Amino acid sequence: MPRILITGTSSGFGLAIAKLFIEQGWEVIATMRNPSNESLPISDNVRVLPLDVTQEASIAAAVAQAGPVDALVNNAGVGMLNVLEGADIARARELFDTNVLGTMAMTRAVMPGMRQRRSGVIINISSSVTLRSLPALSIYSASKSAVNSFTESFALEAAEFGVRVKLILPGSSPDTAFGRNAVARMGMNVPEAYQDFVEAYLRSLRIATDKTQAGDVAQAVWRAVTDEIAPMRIPAGADAETWFREANFPPFDSLGAAIPSLDR
């Protein structure tokens, strides 16, 4: 039975991804900071483990308990909705520690086993906000852009050992607690000078029609894991697909041509 480790499965995208892989007969290692299996299906195929991706000891313990995995989904992350002048820089560091360094640390923890077996898939959940500049998301967008760059470069390293690395780009999602949790955890102290602007922007988000469902992200991850010829970058959701087409990325394989230049 194939085994997948998913970070951040308490709600939203992570929970939807876990449910889909359980339904498909995979052994699912569902991880979260505060372990609970209340939302997960009752199944012999699921194990819930505590994991804080910002703590090396927590990562080492979870990876050891999980055992060899065929796939890793780096989904754990936090958001920040605020203009730069209203943001707490200490909170911004916390965001980068989770979204960027947490993704790198989890990848580094599972890669030795995958490299030795010469097989495995690593999926990093980014965001479609990296495809189009939006206000009040500058710090969050910067963190996810860092995830994109890391993933694209690391994919070239991992390919040498038969390990596939993929990037999922979800759109905005009305059916997850991500936005509420972002405000609760990171705060949203908008300076008075920006309040009218931010309120108008938030109203425009609420009336937008093309939005992403958690199931869209789960299906994109399923494709990335099970389809060996899936592209490296995969948008998830109607809005993300539209923005992705407009971005008009070159095929990722063409980046391989840059490798010889490293010798110069």
166 is catalytic: no
In sequence order, the 6+-apart residues with CB closer than 8 A to the CB of 47 are 27, 28, 29, 30, 65, 66
In sequence order, the 6+-apart residues with CB closer than 8 A to the CB of 241 are 171, 235
Phi, psi of 136 (to 5 degrees): 65, 15
130-170 per-position pLDDT tens digit: 998 888 899 999 999 999 999 999 999 999 999 999 999 99
Residue 25: CA count within 13 A, CB half-sphere:
2
Token couple for 144? 């996810």
144 is catalytic: yes
Token couple for 115? 């490299």
Residue 92 pLDDT greater than 80, yes or no: yes
CA-based nearest residue to 76, from 7, 21, 145: 7
Q: Would the pTM count as exceeding 0.75? A: yes
Q: Does domain 3-263 have CATH number 3.30.465.10?
A: no
180-218 per-position pLDDT tens digit: 555 555 557 888 998 888 888 878 777 665 678 999 999
